[in-house]
Amino acid sequence: MRTCLVTGAGRGIGRAVARRLAAEGHRVALTARSADQLEEVAAALPVPSLVLPADITVASAVEETFTAVETRWAGVDVLVANAGAGVSAKLADTTDDMWQAQLDLLLTAPFRCVRRAVPGMVGRGWGRIVVVASVAAKRGEPYVAAYTAAKHGVLGLVRAAAAELAGTGVTVNAVCPAYVDTPMTDATVAAIARRTGRTPEQARAALAARQPIGRLVTPDEVAEAVWFCVANGAVTGQGLNVDGGAVQS
């Protein structure tokens, strides 16, 4: 049984990842800002779980979260850095605060988690780090400059960490989904509807059509890609696209 820590575990992809890890018999520590959502996820898991509400963008919260896992169980063997949110605005309308908030959540917080996890993993000679990035880490997207820049940055972090840790027993990978059927995409649909005058149904259909498979990706499909990165010790430094064929690499 491995000890796993999933950030952004209260809903969407994080919830699906927690279920997938639990299905393999691993105990799972769950962190996100919403305690109620975490408790709901934990109650449905068939393995020991640990609920750790926290705002992962606060520097001290990373240390406190890892320490709580280590105190209750043991060192973190599997880190899935999933917490995320998107902000949409024209480049000229993207404020410094919007820019910084996206970097804090999507790049700095994963960096702090990876930095905190690595020494213990290297010391034990085994570890798996998976960052949930985005296809926006692979290409430019309009109206999400801050989000896209942060996701490009976190993919760079993954590649650098994988290169540094190769041979230690620790792998570092990113999973890069397109539009996933999650509350985050619901917010995107609402924003498109407000901006364009389309109905929510039309906006959702437009997002689905951007994937060659013609539909949104499911959270379980992303979780399966995360599990592949955990299960396969020969895969490291990769950005695995889960996007219905939108970005071929």
Q: What is the pLDDT of residues 108-160, one digit of tens each?
A: 999 999 999 999 999 999 999 999 999 999 999 889 999 999 999 999 999 99
| Whether 179 is catalytic | no
> What pLDDT is stored for residue 3 in this prediction?
98
Q: What is the pTM of this model?
A: 0.93
In which band, very low, low, confident or very high, does the pLDDT at 182 lie, cut at 50, 70 and 90? confident
Which residue type is seen at 246? A
What class, spelled out in words, does domain 3-178+218-242 have in CATH? Answer: alpha beta
Q: What is the pLDDT of residues 47-67, one digit of tens each?
A: 999 999 999 999 999 999 999
> What pLDDT is stored for residue 209 in this prediction?
81
In which band, very low, low, confident or very high, does the pLDDT at 194 lie, cut at 50, 70 and 90? confident
Asked if 29 contacts 69 with a C-beta cutoff of 8 angstroms, the reply is yes
Burial class (CB in 10 A: 0-12, 13-18, 19+), 243: buried
Numbered ranges of CATH 3.40.50.720 in the chain:
3-178+218-242
Q: What's the mean pLDDT when you consider all of the chain?
A: 94
> What pLDDT is stored for residue 207 in this prediction?
79
In which band, very low, low, confident or very high, does the pLDDT at 181 lie, cut at 50, 70 and 90? confident
Q: What is the pLDDT of residues 58-93, one digit of tens each?
A: 999 999 999 999 999 999 999 999 999 988 899 999
Catalogue the long-range contacts made by 202-207 (C-beta closer than 8 Å, 24 or more residues apart): 207/179
d(CA 156, CA 207): 26
d(CA 22, CA 17): 8
> What pLDDT is stored for residue 249 in this prediction?
78
In which band, very low, low, confident or very high, does the pLDDT at 184 lie, cut at 50, 70 and 90? confident
d(CA 130, CA 194): 34
> What pLDDT is stored for residue 88 in this prediction?
86
Whether 45 shows a pLDDT value over 90: the answer reads: yes
In which band, very low, low, confident or very high, does the pLDDT at 33 lie, cut at 50, 70 and 90? very high
Catalytic residue among 11, 14, 134, 147: 147
